[in-house]
Structure 1
């Protein structure tokens, strides 16, 4: 994959494809400064060369990766809206609503928290 249009077009289910397209349309409109980089078969959104958030569509859900710090900071809110999560990702099932305000908070947190970061990933805590 080399762009979002190709990535979205690869989704064969019309409803899922539309939901994914709406998510990416929202994200690129809200955060036009973010660059898109493809890695590990998924679009990753970056700011000044550092990772901010990534999305991957699967048969059952959209996996969202905001790094461990993003999950830790927003775990309670993820629980409240009903998104299952692990240490590094959370899942939005195709049946669930996309909570754009929560996504906005997570992305904004990563942008601000990583403003002075020079590496792609956060430094591991000591």
Structure 2
């Protein structure tokens, strides 16, 4: 099973079809821009890994799509997240459904994690 099909079960659980389409668009974008990342569903959420380490994860809630680049990614991009009009916690960024996705910020988060975790041998940062 490869491509967006790996996420079908997750996507089908998103009742709002507009939100479902937005999440699918973002997941497909990641696969298109970073074909070397491995897509998978773990902990009931779509995520991408590289050499066995977590790079970025996504989830949908009623109010927003959450993006998780781990705490280090949130800390590194905190100002940019706020500048993009999003909120964040220590572990995730929230993209409200009524705001556009800042794909350039997502790209920088993924590139940052790939470089920062290039030598990481664990799933999560220690």
Same fold (TM over 0.5): yes
Correspondence list, 1:100-115, <5 A: 100-115=103-118
Across the aligned residues of Structure 1 and Structure 2, the Cα RMSD in angstroms comes to 1.2
What residue is the counterpart of 2:12 in the other structure?
A: 9
Moved more, 13-22 or 47-56: 13-22
Instruction: Provide the C-alpha distance between the structure 2 equivalents of 1:32 and 1:10, rounded to a whole number of angstroms.
Output: 25
Distance 2:106 2:122 in 1: 23
Equivalent residue for 1:27? Answer: 30
Mapped pair 1:79 → 2:77: no
The one-character-per-residue Cα deviations of 1:28-65 (angstroms, maximum 9, x if unpaired) are 10011111232221012100000001001111111111
Structure 1 residue 59 corresponds to structure 2 residue 62: yes
Q: CA deviation at 1:3?
A: 2.3
Structure 2 residue ranges without an equivalent (≥5): none
Aligned positions, number: 122
SS of aligned partner of 1:19: helix
TM-score, length basis structure 1? 0.92
Give the alignment's TM-score, normalised by structure 2: 0.92
Q: Which stretches of structure 1, 4 residues or more, deviate above 3 A after TM superposition?
A: none
